[in-house]
Chain A
Amino acid sequence: MWQYQKNLQYPVKIRTPNPKLAKLIITQYGGPDGELGASMRYLSQRYAMPYPELKALLSDIGTEELGHLEMVSAMVYQLTRNLSREQIEQGGFAPYFVDHTAGIYPQAASDLPWRAEYIGSKGDVLTDLHEDLAAEQKARTTYDNLIRMVDDPDVLDPLRFLREREIVHYQRFGEGLRLAAERLNSKNFYACNPSYDRACKRGEKI
């Protein structure tokens, strides 16, 4: 189960509302490489993990991603508070406002709503860990792009924190992949799945 901590993982205090930035940053809530997909990806994949280190890692990183989802929502919430009609129109926020007012809705910067196709859960330890490594890099690139578009230090500070976390998660998933690969047959150079490719269990060529 999960228990809520009434605290953000890293503080978010944005003094100046900015609906234009909110429309970009919401992509890390419900976009293709956002935190909603990240949490659902790892928390769904963990049941197929055959080793205790990996069950723990997917559970813990999946949980941390829920905390990042909360930070991104807090950013969007604070960027869209107390808006005037002029700010809504000039910030390009009017279409979102008509659909959702200033409610938090999972969508990409390109307006596409969140889709389950953003995540993979293949039931194979090697396949899923490779997806996770790629997902962390894609999320890191998205934070890089956001950081390029932002000047407000109140917004940059939590974005930089979140970017760093993608790098740390990538590192941990890399160690997870190494742990999994080490438990394959030492001659299993191509890291095929011994539960499917019986030849690789015997250390033969397929």
Chain B
Amino acid sequence: MMWRRRLSAYAFAVWELELFLDTHPENRQAMESRTNYRQKMQALKDEYEQKFGPYVCTAADLDGEEHWTWIDDPWPWDMQEGE
């Protein structure tokens, strides 16, 4: 699923900059870059959740849902055979 891959890529960029900032907390360029990637990640995450349901537990919006969608497959380790 390309969605997950793109979302993972933005999330990874944000995470990598956060680790860098732990040891370079005054670095403006890294802070701005993190903000930029975070905005891209958030936009994609909102779009993802509208289509596929919650990405993290607190994001689960139950309005109009008939059940607790957090439990829905696939979980991250699941394989759809023939995928």
Contacts and interface: CB of A to CB of B under 8 A. Distances in A.
B11 to A, nearest CB: 8
Chain A, interface size: which category? 20 to 34
B56 A13 contact: no
A5 interface: yes
Interface in B1-51: 4-5, 7-8, 11-12, 15-16, 18-20, 22-25
Contacts of A73: 77
A9 interface: yes
A111 interface: no
Contact of B56 (A6, A8, A176): A6
B23 A172 contact: yes
B56 A53 contact: no
Interface residues of B, number: 26
B76 interface: yes
B58 to A, nearest CB: 7
A57 B23 contact: yes
6 contacts: A5-B55, A6-B55, A8-B76, A60-B19, A78-B79, A175-B23
Interface of B: 4-5, 7-8, 11-12, 15-16, 18-20, 22-25, 54-58, 70, 75-77, 79, 83
Interface of A: 3-15, 53, 56-57, 60-61, 64, 70, 73-74, 77-78, 81, 168, 172, 175-176, 179
Given A7-B4, A11-B8, A13-B79, 7 more contacts: A6-B57, A7-B7, A9-B8, A57-B23, A77-B77, A168-B16, A176-B23
